[in-house]
Structure 1
Amino acid sequence: MKRVIASVLAAAMIGVSFTACGSASPRNQAAASSQTNVDKVIAEAEKMTNQELYKKAIEESKGKTMYGIGNSSRGATAGTNFVKMLKTIDSSYDGKVEWSQPKNNSIFTLLTSDIASAQHTYSMTLIQDGNQIQSKMLNTGYLKNFIPKDWLAANGADEKTNGHPFALQSQVKVFAFNNVGGAKFNNCWDFVYKDQHPMFMGVNSEPVGKNFLYMLTDSQYADMMKSAFDSLSADKKAYFQPIVNSMAGEGSKLGLTGDNVKYSLAWIKLWCQQYNKQTDDGPTCTQLVTKSAANQSALLVNSKFRSIEESASSSKKNVTIAVYQDGYHGIGGFSYKHYLQVLKTSPLPWTACAFIAYMTTNKDGYVAWGKDMGSYCSNPSIMQDHSKDGYVNGVNTFAVKNDKPFSWWTSNNGGRLVVEDPAYCAKTSSQMSDWVDSFVSSKG
């Protein structure tokens, strides 16, 4: 009980409303006693099959509650399925998983407080925002990486991409536009052309959006921005060229390298000055599909389109995903990840590792996310196919819902997404953050 109370008090001190779920069960004190022990557990766990891990979890957490915390509420469903699965192995198993989803980007403060406290509550986390994860959690050693053996066996070649830190899934934000008025968005530069005001969540209220802007300065994406610029019509080039030229010296001032970074900086400047700040992607999507939103555009998670209900004033048919068009040039949007990590003070590290393995190797472990389009598991073998979600009675009715595999989204011949890299974001944020904010002005 003291551990739960400590967490609640810590949350109250920072002005966050947080309710502990249930009373605390007895903890494994030895597992919580030191960072060294958690490191040893992870090292052993990475050599074990899922079945071996599940037995360890049952032994460790019988009669206890494992507390997880994450940016996605669907972790609660995964936890329920995990406990059911463990009961099929041992019918007497009576452990629990309690899941919390903090608001307002407070997860980093809550985790830090829990790790620093004398009594520890949380065992694992599902967390986003690569910049803060790297600078506040990984560089400090607060979070520990665990890669399940069964995941590695199926996805060994992908360890570099999704293993460090270990990712549950990728999320995608795409450029989309309302097609009712006949507007054309055939190039990523069209979204920052004169009089354009794409709907987008504020970069300081949803930090992954700011990470997107940081990543644009990486040379591979700067090269994409230059290539897209070169494909513009003469009149649009003439409009953008002075802005690009004005950025010629900014890259070196910001510690950036690459011949084409000035193109990314010009685009970032225009984007920040012109985007229409939104509070959430849900209302943005609801607005974009209406007839009254003719010619408007947005950068939002594509998964939101799945829940739009058809009416006389709103339809999924009213929206086009820009990169789905033949002949589209430039980036199609960006992606960020949800990372699974073990706290260095985890009271139940074996159970945490087993739960992580379950979510990334078992279809029932990932079903909470995978049942809908727009989430892309780091283990494609447990993904559901959403390529024909837009079909009704065999007819391709809502093209915006026909999803693509993540390999397509990140391909230079496909979605050409800007992919979040925690290390790069952390390295560049100190130089770039204030620079971006200078153009965002009152939006942020």
Structure 2
Amino acid sequence: MKKFLASAMAILMVSTLFAGCANKNKAANDKAGSQNSVESIIAQAEKMSNDELFKKAIEESKGKTMYGIGNSSRGATAGTNFINKLKSIDPSYDGKIEWSQPKDNSIFTLLTSDIQSAQHTYSMTLIQDGNQIQSKMLNTGFLKNFIPKDWASANGVDQKADGNPFALQYINKVFVFNNLGGAKYNNCWDFVYKDVHPLFMGVNSEPVGKNFLYMLTESKYCDVMKAAFDALSSDKQAYFQPIIDSVAGDVSKLGLTSPNAKYSLAWIKLWCQQYNKQTDDGPICTQLVTKSAANQCALLVYSKFRSVEESANSSNKNVTVAAYQEGYQGIGGFAYKHYLQVVKTAPLPWTACAFIAYMTTEKDGYAAWGKDMGSYCSNPNLIPDHSKDGYVNGVNTYPVKNDKGLSWWLSSDGGRLVVEDPVYCSKMSTKMSDWIDSLVGNKG
């Protein structure tokens, strides 16, 4: 009997052990399966037309709410349009989209917490700041890339530039100056000349501004800065040369390899030391268009000029886009992107993919952003013509509002915008962030 009981106990212990291992393996497999199912759905979705995706979204999200999170509040408008689209296909459809726009750059913390929690909320995101996207979201696998079939087959899209991470749009920040006082800004170096203090959001309060400075050290932009320096008058060259020489030793320390890197570093140094820190681009625009802002300059989101209220004291007539001037030299500003991604733990991945496809392939999907100059969909077929937004009754009344378009802004003989690249920003932030902070000091 004792031998029998001992044998039974041994069998029970082994069985319990195997059962525990099986349960652990099942839990691990369930978790992996959930992740793999999102990736599997994305792989399937990339082979589907919009019509097929919309049917999948209807089937998946009937009676449910998909939660999206983004850096643009206009995602809510796009979400309303998307729901109406699905209802036009199936009148009985009753799904919803809830959209949230977190403040103070907290979107990365919120997404990370949601992904690592036991219960998942968010299915997709519209997100900016290439540096943190790469380091916190893409390198970790927290966000998954989805490229709509109808977008990929559209004429004029650039899959290499905008396909990974998948971009909804470009947004440009441009050099602008008040033209009432006679000050001349014909070269990007003029914005860092002595006693010039451009209005600009702090590099640590809006990270895309810091990314701009990282990108300026990329070889092709170093070359643009050198060419702009060469175009300066001899007296201005003499002013800048000592600063350029002073940063030459930092080139190798920061891991830069371009022979013209010292020109970009000198410009960055002067910019950080001289810019006039502002809280937001809205107040910058409001100040710059006034008569009292004569000779002032700024680097701000171009689309802000759409909402200027014309008055005796304030007018878009009072400002000039620097790069629109004949013979302007150097960079005209910078561009950052809004990226669309599927969350790896998305509760409604089909609906997320369908919504992303809708925003980037249909006019009503992008309409929330396309109504303004300075916002450019990655699908050029959805970008409205804003080249005559400054015309009133056929008269070119407000030239600052006549947008020359994305292709002009990106071209080497046009606006020469510095374009954010997530991989490069992530790489350079570890080397340059402290260096830039030391230049900015308490200004932030």
| TM-score (normalised: structure 1) | 0.92
**Aligned counterparts of 1:282 and 1:362: Cα–Cα separation in 2:** 29
**Letter in structure 2 aligned against 1:221:** Y
**Aligned counterparts of 1:426 and 1:50: Cα–Cα separation in 2:** 33
1:157, CA displacement in angstroms?
A: 5.3
| 8 Å Cα contact 2:151/2:157 also seen in 1 | no
1:406, CA displacement in angstroms?
A: 0.5
Q: Deviations over 1:96-145 (max 9, x none)?
A: 00000000000000000000000000000000000000000000000000
| 8 Å Cα contact 1:31/1:347 also seen in 2 | no
Q: Deviations over 1:204-243 (max 9, x none)?
A: 0000000000000000000000000000001000000010
Q: Secondary structure at the match of 2:161?
A: helix
Q: Deviations over 1:338-395 (max 9, x none)?
A: 0000000000000000000000000000000001111100011111111100000000
1:33, CA displacement in angstroms?
A: 6.0
Q: Deviations over 1:259-304 (max 9, x none)?
A: 0000000000000000000000000000000010000000001100
Summarize the Cα distance change of 1:32–1:356 in structure 2 as closer, same or farther, 3 Å threshold. farther
Q: CA RMSD in A?
A: 1.1
| 8 Å Cα contact 2:144/2:343 also seen in 1 | yes
Number of residue equivalences: 415
Q: Secondary structure at the match of 1:34?
A: helix
User: In the alignment, which residue of structure 2 is the partner of 1:145?
Assistant: 145
Q: Deviations over 1:139-196 (max 9, x none)?
A: 0000000000000000575000110100000000000000000000000000000000
**Aligned counterparts of 2:378 and 2:424: Cα–Cα separation in 1:** 20
Please state if 1:292 is matched with 2:279. no
User: In the alignment, which residue of structure 2 is the partner of 1:118?
Assistant: 118
Summarize the Cα distance change of 1:155–1:436 in structure 2 as closer, same or farther, 3 Å threshold. farther
What residue ranges of structure 2 are gaps of 5+ in the alignment?
Answer: 1-29
User: In the alignment, which residue of structure 2 is the partner of 1:163?
Assistant: 163
Summarize the Cα distance change of 1:31–1:124 in structure 2 as closer, same or farther, 3 Å threshold. farther
Q: Deviations over 1:285-343 (max 9, x none)?
A: 00000010000000001100010011111110000000000010000000000000000
User: In the alignment, which residue of structure 1 is the partner of 2:16?
Assistant: none
User: In the alignment, which residue of structure 2 is the partner of 1:426?
Assistant: 426
**Aligned counterparts of 1:262 and 1:92: Cα–Cα separation in 2:** 63
**Aligned counterparts of 2:157 and 2:409: Cα–Cα separation in 1:** 18
1:247, CA displacement in angstroms?
A: 1.3
**Aligned counterparts of 1:61 and 1:166: Cα–Cα separation in 2:** 23
Q: Secondary structure at the match of 1:217?
A: coil
| 8 Å Cα contact 1:31/1:37 also seen in 2 | no
**Aligned counterparts of 2:144 and 2:166: Cα–Cα separation in 1:** 10
**Aligned counterparts of 2:398 and 2:33: Cα–Cα separation in 1:** 54
**Letter in structure 2 aligned against 1:128:** Q
| 8 Å Cα contact 2:157/2:378 also seen in 1 | no
1:32, CA displacement in angstroms?
A: 10
User: In the alignment, which residue of structure 2 is the partner of 1:383?
Assistant: 383
1:419, CA displacement in angstroms?
A: 0.2
User: In the alignment, which residue of structure 2 is the partner of 1:24?
Assistant: none
| 8 Å Cα contact 1:170/1:375 also seen in 2 | yes
**Letter in structure 2 aligned against 1:293:** A
User: In the alignment, which residue of structure 1 is the partner of 2:346?
Assistant: 346
User: Residues 227-376 of structure 1 correspond to what in structure 2 (within 5 A)?
Assistant: 227-376=227-376
User: In the alignment, which residue of structure 1 is the partner of 2:10?
Assistant: none
| 8 Å Cα contact 1:319/1:400 also seen in 2 | yes
**Aligned counterparts of 1:324 and 1:31: Cα–Cα separation in 2:** 54
**Letter in structure 1 aligned against 2:216:** L
Q: Secondary structure at the match of 2:359?
A: helix
Please state if 1:41 is matched with 2:18. no
**Aligned counterparts of 1:192 and 1:156: Cα–Cα separation in 2:** 37
